[in-house]
Amino acid sequence: MEQIIIHVDMDAFYASVEMRDDPSLIGKPVIIGAPPDTRGVVSTCNYEARKYGVHSAMNIKEAYRLCPDGVFLTPDFRKYHAVSDQIHAIWEEYAGAMEAIALDEAYLDVTETAGTFDRARGFAHEIKKRVLDETGLSCSVGLAYSKIAAKTASEENKPNGYFEILTAEDFVNLMMDRDVRDIYTVGVKTAEKLHAAGIHTMRDIRENSSDVISMLGKHGQMIVDLAYGHDDSRVVAYRPEDAKSISRELTFQEDVFDFWLLADVLLLLSVSVVNRARSYGLCGNGVSLKVTYSDMKGVTRSKVVKYCDDPLTVHREAVSMLEEVSTRPIRLIGVGVYNVTPARAKQMTLDQMAGGKDSDTELDKAFEVLSKRYKMDLVKGGDIGWDNLHSLAEHMRTHRGQRGSDYTIYCIEQAGLERVLSDRDGIQIVSGHHPSDDLFLIAPLFFDMDVHHVRAPHGE
């Protein structure tokens, strides 16, 4: 059966939400992202800012150079998620299947619910009106015979636009003499390869089909198919429970060389990852670590860990892997779980039945120590959300020099267990073995002391 697909894309979503909530921003270039004097990128910007050449994913300092008089705002993800829930609820009413590919964008398969393009056209205009009436925001809508044609259509008349491409012939006629970069799925690097081969337009692709396939393989075949208007991809409703991995990462505003700070930040990331997995009824069976250095070179490490369903397990394994990587200035760190499977009921241990410590109690204790160490408030058992993860990590980075002086670090050295004391930043470094093997392995956060290997490469 012929498909009937609607693609909906909100117009400059984050910026539009901010302008809706603060009308004084209307008419001004609004740029959402990192502060302009910090490391980061543009998340999005309104159309006034785009006139200056600012665009999504641009380095924030470059955006400031192009538009110094712009209004720079940091993202409010809680607010954006709340609005996203509103618009998704509207869209779902019209779709047999909805594939949300971002907070502000989705494909709607209305083949069954509309039945004809005439009725689907009515759906499209009704969606635009309801989104505007119920949220105060505009969206652009494309109606087409396929997913990629619908995506192309929604881009035609932005902002607040509507366009339709009802047949493959219509798609080809529209795109024939446009640059290959305008074909959805053709990225910058692919376009560069095609341009280098003298292939600049969709017409060129049709005239050099075998060369394109030879050069790009399966992706090349897909591009050639699109050049003839062929696209049989289907709308697939996203289900979180189908995820294969779940991860979180963050970029520091300044490179970090402090191992213990990185270990502490890994706890926040571990909590965020596990809470997200739990919200979907999932758990991981492996832990991964990602590190990117100041020179943009990166490493990843992973370890199989059966049923790692609590933050402390994930954190312990992540810290263990961090010990194995080169200690150079780090700009980005991330942690994840993989081989994700449905969570299952977990039996209580004998210690727990006897009133011993469970993982939640240990996590609360860890949060207490972090709160004291960095002079900040962490809610016991609270979620570390995407919106506050970066701010917490930055607070820790900028306050790490204020850590208390009551930390003892126990280490094992190859040459026996003699006791060696040194005063370094108020931290007592002791050679020897702490009574608890668990504490020794964790780097920890669970008592008012750090327990970890003393590593020579800390730059001192």
- What residues are annotated to the active site? 105
Q: Are 216 and 187 in contact (CB under 8 A)?
A: no
Amino acid at 407: Y
Residue 349 exposed, middle or buried by CB count within 10 Å (0-12, 13-18, 19+) = exposed
3-state SS string for the chain:
CCCCEEEEEECCHHHHHHHHHCHHHCCCCEEEECCCCCCCEEEEECHHHHCCCCCCCCEHHHHHHHCCCCEEECCCHHHHHHHHHHHHHHHHCCCCEEEEEECCEEEEECHHHHCCHHHHHHHHHHHHHHHHHHHCCCEEEEEECCHHHHHHHHHHCCCCCEEEECCHHHHHHHHCCCEHHHCCCCCHHHHHHHHHCCCCEHHHHHHCHHHHHHHHHHHHHHHHHHHCCCCCCCCCCCCHHHCCEEEEEEEEEEEECCHHHHHHHHHHHHHHHHHHHHHCCEEEEEEEEEEEECCCCEEEEEEEEEEECCHHHHHHHHHHHHCCCCCCCEEEEEEEEECCEECCCCCCCHHHHCCCCCHHHHHHHHHHHHHHHHCCCCCCCCCCCHHHHHHHHHHHHHHHHHCCCCCEEEECCCCCCCCCCCEECCEEEEECCCCCHHHHHHCCCCECECCCCCCCCCCC
